[in-house]
Copies of this chain bind each other. A is one copy, B any other.
Amino acid sequence: MTSELKYHYKYPHPAVTTDCVIFGFDGSDINVLLIKRGLDPFKGCWALPGGFLRMDESASECAKRELKEETGLDTAFMRQLHTFSTPGRDPRERVISIAYYALVRLSEVCGGDDASDAQWFALSDIPNLAFDHNDILTMAIDRLRRSIHFEPIGFELLPQSFTIKQLQTLYESILGVKFDRRNFYKKMIHLGLLTQVEQPPKPYSRKVAYLFQFNHDRYNELKNNGFKLEF
């Protein structure tokens, strides 16, 4: 047994993991990807995807690795959230977790097979999570809500092309409020960050709506000129 413990230090070292809150938008609700734990502790309990930090990777690389494993995505919007370090948060040993959150397009996510232990949950339907993952998720939701006022991150959750209506539903879902359809439309158009797509979409309702794409170049240009996104 002891012979397995082959890493030695003069002072005690905590174990370090990253956990990742992966948000997706299904057209009407914000969802989070959870993993059913196959091992103790908290066996059978839902938890955020995560894993131990390797010695040759940064925390963001570790989180990106987790994302890839669970969604198949190589790239996505990803930000560090907070580091959770309360002693006892993991019953096994001292573990600190560097938490990240990610925004992904559900259409681009590799659907895990049916037997997969990964599953999307609407925010209104989150079960009790393992460890302190409820706290992590709560903080991630709060961060998402705050960020969307000042950063164009909503577009990371929508398809490349989208209607203003879809965008509004997304904002309303994240912020938990309702906007006047017409004012929302004008405000978004007026921001000057959307490019209208030529091709008229397939009619999915009475009147076909214009399709737009987020204009990254325009956003960076405005931002460099001191423009501050505010919504």
Contacts and interface: CB of A to CB of B under 8 A. Distances in A.
A124 interface: no
A53 B14 contact: yes
Interface in A39-82: 52-53, 55-60, 80, 82
Using C-beta atoms within 8 Å of the partner chain, give the interface range for chain A: 20 to 34
Contacts of A98: 83, 85, 96
A20 to B, nearest CB: 14
A131 B123 CA distance: 40
A92 to B, nearest CB: 11
B14 A13 contact: yes
B2 A9 contact: no
A87 interface: yes
A11 B15 contact: yes
A159 to B, nearest CB: 30
A13 B10 contact: no
B85 A14 contact: no
A105 interface: no
Interface string A84-109: 01110000001010100000000000
A127 B182 CA distance: 53
B8 A7 contact: yes
B9 A13 contact: yes
Contacts of A82: 80
Contact of A86 (B2, B6, B58, B83): B58
Contact of A87 (B52, B56, B86): B56
A115 interface: no
A200 interface: no
A2 to B, nearest CB: 7
Nearest to A16: B14
A48 to B, nearest CB: 17
Given A2-B8, A80-B83, 8 more contacts: A4-B10, A6-B10, A11-B52, A14-B53, A16-B96, A59-B96, A80-B82, A85-B98
5 contacts: A4-B10, A55-B94, A58-B85, A59-B96, A60-B85
